[in-house]
Structure formats: C-alpha cells, structure tokens
Structure 1
Amino acid sequence: MGRAEERRARQRGGRRAAPPTRSSGTPSEGLATGGRAAARKAAARGKKGTKNGKSGIRRLFTWKKILGTFLGLCLLGIGAFIVLYLVTPIPSANADAKRQSNIYEYSDGSVMAREGDTNREIVDLSEVPKPVQRTFVAAENKTFYTDAGVDFKGIARGLFNTLSGKGKQGGSTITQQYVKNYYLDQDQTVTRKLKELVISLKVDRETPKDDILAGYINTSYYGRGAYGIQAAAQDYYRVDAGKLSVEQGAYLAALLQAPSQYDWAVASKTGKELVTARWNYVLDNMVKQGWLDKSKRDKMTFPFPKEPKVAPGMEGQKGYFIKLAKQQLEKQLVAKEGITQDQAEARVENSGWTITLNIDKKKQAQLEKAVKTQLTSQLDPKKRSVDRNVQAGAASVDPKTGKIVALYGGTDYTKHYISNANRTDYQPASTFKPVILAAALENASETQGGKAIGANTIYDGTSKRQVVDSNGNKVGFGPENEDDANYGKVTVQTAMNKSINSVFAQMGVDVGMDKVLETATKLGMDTGKLRPLPAYTLGTMGASPIQMAGVYATLDNHGKQVTPSIIKSAEQGGTEFQMPDPIGEQVISREAADTVTSVLTGVVDDGTAKKSVQQNPARDGRKVAGKTGTSDDNKSAWFTGYTPDLVTSVGLFGEDHKTHGQSKLYNTAGLDRVNGGGFPAEIWAAYTFGVAGKNTKFDLDTDQGAAVQPTWTPTPSATPSETPSETPSETPSETPSETPSETPSETPSQSPSQSAPTGQQSTPVAPSTSPLNPFDPNGDQ
C-alpha cells in the first residue's frame, strides 16, 4: 500500500506526501528504505521544476500563437498592399521626356559631336502583322493574353535578388516590362518593384491587351540606338514594321533579351550561338501555342540582319571614339550599380550625358596621317582585290596616366562599323612573346637544365623542335620558325630579336602555361576561357590593339597595371560619374617589367623592327622598345612599341570585304606578304616620331637585356639549357626572306658563338677558356 500511495503522490506532482513506509526488516533496512523514499521525493521535485519550465516556453510559443502571428502579418501585408494599390496612381508617361542629346568633347573641351534625337517612331499595332506580334508573346510571356498582368513568382524572385544584391529580376510579364519602360525607370530598388507590381495590375485592368502589347513593342530598346519596333525594323532589316516576316520578327523578339550581346553585327561567337538558340525557342513556342504551322516552321532559316546604319556626325573616326566611350561607361554602370549590360546601354543612349574624351587632337591627326601615308595611299583595290580586304587598327596610350590619346578604328565609321582598335578576333601572334618572358622572370622560372631563365639563357632555336616537359617527354608540339629557319643555340635576347618560335614554345612549357596565362591576365589580356596549352605561346588567342597597348603600357610603367581609358570625365545632370583610375596596382615586379623592356629594345636595334624603326631618320636618338608579330596564314600583322612616354599598338587585319570573314594578306600592295616589321612598324614610326617627346632613355631597374650593353656572348663550349629532342642544324634550312618580318634580317649564324646578345661583336673564344656569364650567375659555361 505504501508504494501505491507513493506512486499516486508522484503522479499528482507531489502534492500529497506518501505515508511513512513500514519496515518489517531490521532497523538498518528501514533507514535504507527511508533514504530511498527521500531520494524519490527529491527526484519528483526536480522533474516538477523541469516540467514547469517547459510549460512556460510552450505557453509563450504555442502553435496557435505562431499561426495567429503569421496570419496577422499576412493580413497586415495585404492591408498595406491594398492601401498602396489605392494610393498609387498610374503615372504619366516619362520615357520620352528623359531623352536628351549626349555631348562628346575632345580632351581640350572642344565639342566633337552631339548624339541626339531618339530613334523612335510609334506605330499602331494593326500595322504589325499578327504573326509578328505573336513572336514577342512567344518570346517573353506565353500567358500574356490570360494573365492578370503580373508574375508573382517573378516579383518575389526580383525582390529577393534585390535584397540579396543579385541584381535584375527575372520572369517579368510583358505588362510589367511595358510599365517599367513607359512609366518608371530602371532602378533596381524594392520601392520601384512594388510600384511596378501595383501599376501593372492597374494597367492590366484598365487597358486592353492589344494596347499593352503595342506599348511594349513601341517602347522597348532593341540596340543600335533603336527604340520601338519600327526603328528596329528599319535598322536591322531596312523595312517598315508592317513588312517584317515571321523570321525577322522572331529575331527582333529574341534580341530584346540582350540587345548588345545579340546584335549579329558585333556579337561574339557565343552571342551568335545564343541568339540563334533564342530565335529557335521563339518559333518553337509559336508552334506549341498553335500560332505557327510546324511544316512552315521547319522550312524557316535564320534571317541575318543588315549592317547598322550610322547616325549623322559619326563619320571618320568619331563614331569609333563614341562607341568605345559608351562601352567603357556602360561597363562601369554595370559594375557600380548592379544593372545589366542592356539596362546600362539604355541608360547611356541619348540620356543627357556630357562625356569628355582623352583624345588629343594633334596626336589623333598624326595617327590618321601615318596610316594614310604609310598604308592606304599604297593600296590599289582596282589593281589588286586583296587591297580591298586590308583593315588597320591602332591605339595609342600614355603609360603614366592610362589615357587613350589617339585611336584608329578603320577608314570610316560610316563604312566599317566594327572598330579595328577594339576587335579581338585576330591573333596577336609574336607580340605575345614578351608576356612569356615576363612570366618566366616574375616566377623565377628555370629551364629543364635547372638554369634561371633570363635574357642570356641559352635555348635551342631549331625549327620544329619538339617541346619537352619536365620529365623529358615530348608534348606533341614543335612549331616551325619563320621560313623554317634553324638557329641552333641562341640566347633569349637573340630569340626575341629574331622572334624564334621554337625557343618561346619551350620556354612557355618551362614556365608553365598556367603561369603564362596568369601573367597575361595581370597585364591586361582576356584569358579567362583559355586552357593552358603550349600552342598559345605563338599568340594564337584573340586580342585587340587596345588590349596589347595596355599590356605594353604596363611594362613601360614598370609593372603597374595600365587599363587604357578613352573617358576623361562623364557627367549627367550636373553630377559627375566617377570613372576608375586607369592606373592600377603593381601586377608584376619592376625588375621583371624593366628586364622585358630592356630585351625589347633589341628587337628594334637588331631584330625584326630594325629597318622600319631603328633606321628611321625621324627617330632622333629616342630609345624604343617593341615587338613585331605575324599570324598564321598571314591574316594579321602587328607592331606594338613604346618610348618612355608613349605606347602604341598597330595591327593590320585581313577581312573579306563581302563576308567580313578573315582573309589572307598575301600580295597586299604588291608585296609577297605583310609582316609586323613592314606596314605596322612603319605606321608606328611615322606616328610616334611625329608626336613623342624628347625623353630618350628608359629608367630601367635591371642588369639584363639589350639596353644594358652586355659584354658576354655564348661560345662553342656552351651547352643548351635543356636537352634538345633533335640534333640542332648548324645551318638554316633555307635562306630567310629579306622582307622585314619575323624573318631574321640577316642570315642566321652557323655557330652559337655568332648568336650574341644585341650590340656585341662576336669574338670566338676557345672552349677551354670560355668564361661564365657575368650577367647571369646561373648561365651555362
């Protein structure tokens, strides 16, 4: 009974104490039993406290209270939305009111051009063929005719992206996009998005769907400065909107997703693939919606658009200046304000900007004169068809400030829309070799034989020599030298002077192509999508004159990164938009940069640019560094060079005047081929020596290279710094061409002792008395 009572007491929470337990045992057993009873009571009291504690928390956070709070918040949100809906009117249209001319000025403040009237013409929806109307619905909002004007999932996603800093919302309906274009602005704020939601609901209730669709296609931005379907139809296909085919309409509808990326005239390979896929998506959606017969769809082909029309005032080089300025401003708007590229483009077009450029009138005039006198005056398209395919591009940069002081984009922006100064679809060829040397110096790289790579390091210059890895295994790459010339054992300095492919192919593998590409990126090249392949040692990636001018300007600036900028200032409505400083951080060491500069002086004094630059009577003692380049199949030729105060990259590109595809430059102006030491170097010299200052010396922190005047030369006892895979030929396989190019200006030496660093007379030394290289403690003996 005692235990039963005790159990009931515990169940009642200890409110009633159990009576004393009788014990029939010994006194000690009774004491033990009493102790156990006391322990059980203490345990009961502890459980009671714990239970009461849990009960307090549960009373505070009951499921009823949580549900009630949630419902209350929902009701509060609904109430707030109703109030917002009631107090938010449909505003007056403001898109046209914000359109103002942009003003572009030279660096001295004089007006270069005004870019003005908005390219827009409103057309009634009835003038647009019904199938073309449906291409926009199929592209953007298949439920347009049945929805309430909003996509709540898209709005929620947009709000989340805004709050989390991810930028543009997705999934907007046609109504929402129309409201944003016509009534609001492009700001990515919560307030603006809520307004968009409310106004879209009201517009959908009060406006017929056809009027909304008409407003949408008439206010959207299609790229090329075209607002609305009529302007787009004229600009892309030279027809009125009423004459558009379904295929053409599908392209314009696809274009709205990313006008700047999908414009066929300037799109990259990826952009063309994306817009083609988008075009197919639009037409396939029309088939699914029952708006297009599948048999007709299957016969449709992609409607390639026309070249862009150029606005008045953009003739000559002005159009290239303005196009680049817009691109650089848009890039900064994207970076600083978190908007998309296409929003930035719409934000810049005719929006009242005053943009002052870094273009120097005198330098610009001299650059244009140099191209005319050294190149275009010698071309005769009537006599030689290849002369119609020659395109020149150039960019000139101040290495201390990063300013683009002169630029040549082509013969005329109204005749050639693509800027040759900014195009990246041609190989920079051997102008990439200095980047490989910079990577070797920056990473303290060694040859296969364990020797530090420097200006006086010995390499095997045999043409087609198979490159070997650190284990001595062939990597399956053995590039041919220009004219298949063999040079035997040469220094890195000589290899740069003569532009010997086999040497730099091996050097790239010695350094590690991943490190080479990393250095290229630091210097300003776009290598993000490149794999570390040995073939890139030949400069087979794409690059523009502006990019290469930036790379060499960084070298000229002692390793501090230079990002060429055409914009001096940009202001809108009295507020200046802060552009980034073109001069960045130290990306490679000063010693590495200065050593490359020192080596590159040898290319001018005793290499492939000697005839056009070193022997130019206008040089007037100026110290010059530079590198020539000629791509595979003679499709491009380059010279990028610099004085202490000016860096200029000149490129010649073969572009078929009909298809705009790449073509070969052989027989240009009656010459067998075009080399970097020819027209590009001649244009460079005529321009640079006409405008460069009198600063004749580089301030170099290095003890290597041609500018240092070394006193050591390789001797017959020298051993290559890595084991060649083939026995070097003692003589070239054929006599190199005398045309200034990658080809050596003189017959290659027949013994290593004659392959001396620039500026040295080769003196034979007996093998037993061959000295160490005093400028390279790791050099061969």
Structure 2
Amino acid sequence: MGRAEERRARQRGGRRAAPKRRRSSGAAGKSGIRRLFTWKKILGTFLGLCLLGMGAFIVLYMVIDIPEGNADAKRQSNIYKYSDGSIMARDGKVNREVVDLSRVSKDVRLTFVAAENKTFYKDAGVDLKGTARGLFNTLAGRGAQGGSTITQQYVKNYYLTQEQTVSRKLKELVISLKLDREKSKDHILAGYINTSYYGRNAYGIQAAAQAYYRTDAEKLDVAQGAYLAALLQAPSQYDWAVASETGRKLVKARWNYVLDNMVDEGWLSRSERDGMEFPVPEEPKPVPGMEGQKGYLVNAANAALERQLVAAGTAGSAKEAEAMVNAGGWTVTLNIDKKKQTALEKSVRRQLTSKLDPDRRKVDADVQAGAVSVNPRTGAVVAMYGGTDYFKHYVNNATRSDYQPASTFKPVILAAALEERAETQDGKPITASTVYDGTSKRPVVDNGSRVGFAPENEDDADYGPISVQTAMNKSVNSVFAQMGVDVGMPEVVEVAGKLGMDTENMEAVPAQTLGSMGASPLEMAGVYATLDNHGKKVTPALVKSAEHLNRTVTMPDAVGEQVISREAADTVTSVLTGVVDDGTARASVRDNPLRDGQQVAGKTGTSDNNKSAWFVGYTPDLVTSVGLFGEDNKPPYRQVPMYKAGGQPRVNGGGFPAQIWAAYTFGVMDEVSRFDLETRQGAAVEPTRTPTPSQSPTKEPTQEPTTEEPSSSPPPTTQEPSTTPPTKPSTTPPTSTPPTKPSTTPPAAGGAPPARAAPAAPAPSARGAPGAHRAPFARHTSPRLSRG
C-alpha cells in the first residue's frame, strides 16, 4: 500500500472513529438527565412548591392586617349649598362627597354589580383565576389586567395604591379575603362606589351624579346609574361629551351590557329594560370655586361651623374643630338666598364700584364695602357682601370688626334709655319728645359736674333745644353724649350686649356714645334685627345645616329670648322711621322711586375723619347693614379717610351706603309691608301737637293724647323745635316737662301724658305694656310718611 493510500485509509479510519466517540458520549448524557428528572421527582417538587406556596400564603394571611385607608382615598371636598339646596361651591383638592349606601337606590346599586361583578353577593371577595392571570401578566411585564372583583377593586382604591407589582397584588388578595369575612357586602359596595374615579374630576358616585346629571346620587334612575357604572371601565374614553365616535359606541355598548346583565340576573324586568333610552349626560361644567363672594361665604360658614363644634363638645378646641372641617366630607347648607345674594352684589356694583375710578382719584382704590342682610323673624343671613373678590381682598368686610360703627350706635343709647326708664339730669323721663341742648361741643355734665367730654356735631352745627326725635333724625352727637351719661354708660353697655354687640372690651365711657368701638356689619345687622323683632334677641345665622356622613350638627337657634321690652324696641323703631323720612337718609331712601310706600326704619353713621360710613336699615321683613371702609390698598393696609371718594366731598352714611341699601332692599321686596308697633312715641306715631321747646317748659300738658289713626293730611315736620331763636342755653340740658311726677309710662309723642297714669310697677312686658298701644304705620295715609 502506497503512502497516499495509507494516509487516506488513516483519514477514513479517523472519520469513522469520531462518530463512535460522540455516540458513546451522547448516550451517557441522556442517561444522566433521565436519572435527574424522573416523574416522581417532578411530582414531588410540584407538590412541595404547592405546600410551600400554601404555607407562605398562610403566613401572609396571618401577617397582613386590614390597614387604615390611605389618605388620598379618604380625602373629600366640602360641599356648600344655597338655602334652596343648589351647590354654591366645593372646597378641596379632591371632588368627592361620601354618601351612605342608603341614599342610593337599590336598583342603581345593582347596576355596578351587573357591570363589574355579577357574583359579588355570592363570592368570597376574590377571583382566583383573574388574580392568577394578573400575577402572570405582571411578571411577564404586560401591564394591568382586569378580572378583579368589586371587593378587590375597593381594596386597591381605598387601602392600597394603583401600582402594578406582585407584592401589591398579593396584599390585595389577602386583604380582600379578610375584608369579605369581616365586613358586609353593603359596606364594601358603598366603599367601592364612593372611592372610584368617574372622570370629570369626580370621585365617588355623588360627585359623579352632579358632574354628569346635575343631580344627587339619591335621585339617579337606573339608566343614569348604568351609565355611571359603565364609565368605570374607561372614564376619559367613555365621557359622552368628549368621546370620539368609537368611544360613544363603546360606552353605549357597555351601557347595554350592564342593563342586559341586570335582566339576566332578574334584577330588572325585560319590559323596563326595553323602555329605557340612553341618558345623554349634561355638558361638563367647571367645578364651583371660591371666586367672587363665594370665598367669603365659605370661610364665614366654616368659622360658624367650627364654633358650634367646640360649643357642642364635638371638638375640644378651636384648632381641633378647624382640623375636622378642613379634613373634608362636610355638606354645609347656608341660609344664603341665591336671589337676594345676586341682588346685593348687583346693588354694590351699580351704586358704588361702578362710580369709583382709581385712575382719576387715588382714594377710590381705598374704598371697601361690606354688607349683611338678615331675616329678622328667623335670624337667617340671606345675603352677604364681603368685598370686591375673595382672591383680591381676603379680609371679609362683612365680618371684620375693626372700624367704628359711628352714629349707628345711637339707637342703642335710646333703647337703653327706654329700657331703663332713664331720666334726665333734672328728673324728667327720656322719651322721643324730650328736649335736649343740641349745641355742638357742649360739655357733657353728670350731676352738675362736667365729665370732660364735649363732642362736636357734624360740620360743627348748633341746633339749640332739640327733641330726641329730631336729634336722631339729624344725628346730633351732643344730645346722645348727654343721654348716655343720663342713662349711665354701664347700663348702655349692658343693653348693647343684650342687643348683640360684643361688649367684652367696650369701656363704659361717654366717648362710646359716638360709636367709637369696633363693630362689623354682621354684628350691627343683629342689633337692628333684634329691634325689628320687637326686642327678641336675633343672632344672625349664616349656616342652616351641616352634615358629615351620617352625622348632623345641630346649629343653635338664631332667635332667642326677650332681651329688652317690646315697648322699648318698638319705640326705637318708630323713632328710626324719622331718620328715613325727615333725616339723614331721606335723599337716598325716602325719595327712591322703587320704595312704593314701603315703611323703613334706619340710621346713618359716619365715623371720625371719614374712615367709615354706614347705613343700617330695615323693613318689617328684612334688615340690612351696609358699611364702607377706608383702607389703604397696599400693605400694611391701614385705615385711611375716604374724603372725595367717588367724587363726593365726604362719604356719608346717607350717600353710597344708603343708596346700596335702597337699591337692594326695594329690589327684592315681594310686597309693601308695615311695622306693627306697640308704642305711642316717635315718627311712626302721628304727633298730637308740635312742641315748642324753651328753657322752662310748662309743667302741664296743653292737650290730652289721642289714639286715633293718623289723618290723611300732611303732619308738621317731626318734632322740630320752634323757629324762634332760643336764648343762649345753659350747661344744664333742658328737657320737656312731664306731669308733676313722671310715671313709669313715657308721655305720648306730642309730649302729653297718657290718658291714665300707670301705677309704679316693674318694667312692662313685651306685649300689652301699660300706657302703650299698637300704632301700625298705615300705608298711604300720610303723604310725608308714605312717599315713594
């Protein structure tokens, strides 16, 4: 054999030898795998893993407890409503209002069960197949998958988070099993429909019902409920207002699916189902916010609710009460009447802000307005104006009490004089016809000694001898300063507190007669409402009701007990009609073309240096307090004068405030009304004669009083003094002289004594007081008193 053949033979031999070695090696490897993976070992491993998984699950079940709900799921907005139940505002980052399941009809509840989990009332709270699929898809990175029960979805929404992790899904499974054992199905269903997101920034069924159908959850019908249930699958895609054509087809198909499931389960009859039409939702509407007056109203309502929580012992402190309210979930219904609120805002805009021009007059930027309107019979605050806009001026001008009420305090002094049956320095009873010295800067005396106070009248005007009625009409400071001392300033302060003023820091000094204390429009509205309500205490109430889940907070009664006699209150009201008809408010109120004969009582006020101006007026049915305040519109926001604001030399109470009051009040009147007064004094009572004041009034009356109704002829100017110039008055204030010894009953408006002297007795009762009679202000019986 040659070398070449030998070499080829060796090569062939080598190639043939190699496969034998590979076959030998392969056979050995296959035999090793068979020995390692026998069917017994595989089954044993599987069973071991199952036991291990079961053990691990038991451990997880024992270790994992039902946690507290997460903060986001608990967060709710507070809902604020007008007195008619319509929504005013929502305050909170999350638009959610939790409602009890009892407020949702059973048929609407079942729409959610039909949409998401037909076996809800039968299952153990979990869908093992769906959960396993979800775990597999999560491990495979395929994202979220459906198939969870209502219980699992509630657990995810309320107790856990939306993250897609294996640990979260295992927790969801365990908590769902435990929750199903510990809680009722209704509890779980309520939690589910209250925590789910429905689109349009609406969390929970109540917010969704408002967002899509402008109604409450309790008023939803089955068709509407089915739409909301269908939404939960894809809220943004299924919102009818913004959905594409495909989205609308899908949501309608989902809606049909829900209703068909209800029929299949026997929850809805076929005839009812066939008669249903798709309930097209309303167009989206911005969530009511805090702009304009709403912020003022919401904050004031919160403050009132917080005070009541503390008073009722529900909260241990003001701080705790504030935290409870800010936590959300409250439905607060205010006494605010939507029509009157709109009218008040419109009146301020037309009568004031439209006339202010900061570009022409710098002072116009410094004028702030505040107003409160109260029903004197119920105490309800029916309208409130806090400022130009909550986001432009955060301080509520209606509730601030850092400005002087000025001469609007004068009726309080008169009320104290009448209630205390006070007398002048020379022992004469103080009545509407009592004559005082109205000289400007006249020193006030007490038992013949000067007290170091001599107030100046407006424009330093001297009036000489002047009746109390005319002094009220013209707002004569010197008269009421002396009257306050005659009554006793401690008694004046006491009566002010009874009427509703905050007297904690009110000093009982003569200077207070000028209204130099601080007071808010809300506070003064309460004082005048008490007078209007015949002396029964009225505490203005902004909040009508407040509810939190199933708890209702009982608000205090706004109308209280008799704090001053009816005769005293009615006499003040009678006198205050003269301010409108013959005094500082007549230009804006008496001659207003909208008045139509409406009877009005009220008082103007202008503080020192024109930093505030007021008009507080009332009809038998409505009390409204209007205040204008001079405030520098730049920090530190100091009080400043309002001279030349709005092009006027001075802002008086009879100007802008009275104009705002008249436009508002006469604009919301339903009908013309009149006061029912038990008094024989003041401008609302026809005078029997015109007094002629002198330094030495006669002691005997010239005419007996009459109880006849006013005649149709124009009466003389109310209680004006004689036009004959008097001699220079002395430092002792002159008074009109009653019968030899004053009785407990004040004389009539004309200065005459009552027809029959009343015996010395305790103060008269609220009704039927001795010497008093009803003197209703008859409509259209006197041109002066009923001019339109």
Please give the TM-score of this superposition, normalised by the length of structure 2. 0.56
Match of 2:473 among 483, 488, 497: 497
Distance 2:621 2:327 in 1: 36
Match of 1:656 among 610, 622, 632: 632
Match of 2:337 among 343, 360, 372: 360
- What is the root-mean-square deviation in Å for CA atoms of aligned residues? 2.7
1:372/1:617 Cα in 2 relative to 1: closer, same or farther (>3 Å)? Answer: same
Contact 2:692 2:721 in 1 (8 A): no
Contact 2:567 2:679 in 1 (8 A): yes
Distance 1:717 1:531 in 2: 34
Contact 1:648 1:684 in 2 (8 A): yes
Q: 1:401 matched to which residue of 2?
A: 378
Distance 1:711 1:746 in 2: 10
1:92/1:614 Cα in 2 relative to 1: closer, same or farther (>3 Å)? Answer: same
Distance 2:748 2:549 in 1: 64
Distance 2:393 2:576 in 1: 34
Distance 2:331 2:749 in 1: 58
How far is the alpha carbon of 1:750 from its aligned partner? 4.8
How far is the alpha carbon of 1:776 from its aligned partner? 4.2
Contact 1:555 1:594 in 2 (8 A): yes
How far is the alpha carbon of 1:449 from its aligned partner? 1.0
Paired AA for residue 461 in structure 1? G
Match of 1:558 among 521, 534, 557: 534
Contact 1:487 1:748 in 2 (8 A): no
Distance 1:691 1:508 in 2: 37
Which string of whole-angstrom CA distances, capped at 9 and with x for unpartnered residues, describes residues 435-476 of structure 1?
Answer: 00000000110000101111001111000000001x210000
Match of 2:642 among 660, 665, 677: 665
Paired AA for residue 449 in structure 1? D
Contact 1:460 1:720 in 2 (8 A): no
Q: Which runs of structure 2 are paired with 1:584-663 in the superposition (5 Å)?
A: 584-659=560-635, 660-663=637-640
Contact 1:356 1:567 in 2 (8 A): yes
Distance 1:720 1:350 in 2: 69
Q: 1:44 matched to which residue of 2?
A: none
Instruction: Determine which structure has more spread, i.e. the larger CA radius of gyration.
Output: 2
Paired AA for residue 675 in structure 1? N
Match of 1:392 among 369, 381, 387: 369
Q: 1:340 matched to which residue of 2?
A: 317
Distance 2:75 2:311 in 1: 23
Say which SS state the counterpart of residue 364 (structure 1) adopts.
Answer: helix
Match of 2:83 among 96, 107, 115: 107
How far is the alpha carbon of 1:361 from its aligned partner? 1.0
Which string of whole-angstrom CA distances, capped at 9 and with x for unpartnered residues, describes residues 395-440 of structure 1?
Answer: 0000001111111000100110000000000000000000000000
Choose 709-718 or 481-490, whichever is displaced more.
Answer: 709-718
Contact 1:395 1:549 in 2 (8 A): yes
Say which SS state the counterpart of residue 708 (structure 1) adopts.
Answer: coil
How far is the alpha carbon of 1:720 from its aligned partner? 7.4
Tell me if 1:378 matches 2:355: yes
Which string of whole-angstrom CA distances, capped at 9 and with x for unpartnered residues, describes residues 318-373 of structure 1?
Answer: 00110110010001111111511111111111320000111111111111111111
Contact 1:442 1:588 in 2 (8 A): yes
Q: 2:687 matched to which residue of 1?
A: 710
How far is the alpha carbon of 1:774 from its aligned partner? 7.1
Paired AA for residue 465 in structure 1? R
Distance 1:774 1:315 in 2: 50
Q: Which runs of structure 2 are paired with 1:112-191 in the superposition (5 Å)?
A: 112-117=88-93
Q: 2:743 matched to which residue of 1?
A: none
Q: 2:428 matched to which residue of 1?
A: 451
How far is the alpha carbon of 1:713 from its aligned partner? 2.4
Match of 2:513 among 506, 517, 537: 537
Paired AA for residue 673 in structure 1? R
Paired AA for residue 552 in structure 1? Y
1:752/1:402 Cα in 2 relative to 1: closer, same or farther (>3 Å)? Answer: farther
Distance 1:630 1:774 in 2: 28
1:716/1:534 Cα in 2 relative to 1: closer, same or farther (>3 Å)? Answer: closer
Q: Which runs of structure 2 are paired with 1:3-82 in the superposition (5 Å)?
A: none
Which string of whole-angstrom CA distances, capped at 9 and with x for unpartnered residues, describes residues 163-199 of structure 1?
Answer: xxxxxxxxxxxxxxxxxxxxxxxxxxxxxxxxxxxxx
Say which SS state the counterpart of residue 537 (structure 1) adopts.
Answer: helix
Say which SS state the counterpart of residue 503 (structure 2) adopts.
Answer: coil
Please give the TM-score of this superposition, normalised by the length of structure 1. 0.57
1:403/1:312 Cα in 2 relative to 1: closer, same or farther (>3 Å)? Answer: closer
Mind listing any 5+ residue stretches in structure 2 that lack a counterpart?
Answer: 1-64, 96-286, 700-716, 728-746, 755-788
Distance 1:542 1:362 in 2: 30
Distance 2:654 2:593 in 1: 16
Contact 2:344 2:664 in 1 (8 A): yes
1:558/1:93 Cα in 2 relative to 1: closer, same or farther (>3 Å)? Answer: same
Paired AA for residue 446 in structure 1? E
Which string of whole-angstrom CA distances, capped at 9 and with x for unpartnered residues, describes residues 28-76 of structure 1?
Answer: xxxxxxxxxxxxxxxxxxxxxxxxxxxxxxxxxxxxxxxxxxxxxxxxx
How far is the alpha carbon of 1:94 from its aligned partner? 6.6
Tell me if 1:468 matches 2:438: no
Q: 2:558 matched to which residue of 1?
A: 582
Match of 2:405 among 422, 428, 446: 428
Paired AA for residue 533 in structure 1? V
1:692/1:390 Cα in 2 relative to 1: closer, same or farther (>3 Å)? Answer: same
How far is the alpha carbon of 1:93 from its aligned partner? 7.8
Contact 1:457 1:721 in 2 (8 A): no
1:404/1:700 Cα in 2 relative to 1: closer, same or farther (>3 Å)? Answer: same
Say which SS state the counterpart of residue 333 (structure 2) adopts.
Answer: strand
Contact 2:376 2:533 in 1 (8 A): yes
Contact 1:505 1:538 in 2 (8 A): yes
Contact 2:692 2:722 in 1 (8 A): no
Contact 1:645 1:693 in 2 (8 A): no
Contact 2:632 2:638 in 1 (8 A): yes
Contact 1:654 1:663 in 2 (8 A): yes
Q: 2:662 matched to which residue of 1?
A: 685
Percent of residue pairs bearing the same amino acid type: 68
Distance 1:721 1:117 in 2: 75
Mind listing any 5+ residue stretches in structure 1 that lack a counterpart?
Answer: 1-88, 120-310, 723-743, 755-771
Contact 2:534 2:569 in 1 (8 A): yes
Say which SS state the counterpart of residue 487 (structure 1) adopts.
Answer: coil
Q: 1:195 matched to which residue of 2?
A: none
Contact 2:467 2:721 in 1 (8 A): no
1:580/1:330 Cα in 2 relative to 1: closer, same or farther (>3 Å)? Answer: same
1:514/1:96 Cα in 2 relative to 1: closer, same or farther (>3 Å)? Answer: farther
How far is the alpha carbon of 1:561 from its aligned partner? 0.7
How far is the alpha carbon of 1:745 from its aligned partner? 13
